[in-house]
């Protein structure tokens, strides 16, 4: 097995992965926001690295 360390800026999204950036007002964003508001969001840390983009959590929380 080969393990390499690369900068995040060098990563590219796969063409077959149809994910889009959700923005306020989009139905998917609003559903996700309601879910987080109702049930909360647990952020797990692995070796000091967050498994969740905390800037997104801040936007949803309105902070």
Residue 62 has pLDDT above 80, yes or no: no
Look at residue 24 in the predicted model and tell me its pLDDT: 93
Q: Token digits for 51?
A: 């498994």
> Which pLDDT value is given to residue 52?
54
**Residue 63: its pLDDT value, please?**
43
Q: Could you report the per-residue pLDDT of 9-18, keeping only the tens digit for each?
A: 888 878 887 7
What's the domain count of the chain? Answer: 1
Instruction: Give domain status of residue 58, yes or no.
Output: yes
With respect to residue 50, please indicate whether it lies within any of the assigned structural domains. Answer: yes
Residue 37 counted as domain residue: yes
**Domain that residue 33 falls in:** 24-63
pLDDT band at residue 31 under the 50/70/90 scheme = very high
Tell me, yes or no, whether 7 lies in a domain. Answer: no
Tell whether 53 is covered by a domain. yes
Nearest-angstrom CA–CA distance, 16 and 63: 34
For residue 18, tell me if it sits in a domain.
no
């Amino acid at each position: 097995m080969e393990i390499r360390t690369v900068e995040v800026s060098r990563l590219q999204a796969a063409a077959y992965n149809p994910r889009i950036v959700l923005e306020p007002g989009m139905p998917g964003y609003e559903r996700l926001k309601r879910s987080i508001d109702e049930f909360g969001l647990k952020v797990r840390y692995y070796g000091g690295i967050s498994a969740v983009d905390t800037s997104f959590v801040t936007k949803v929380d309105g902070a």
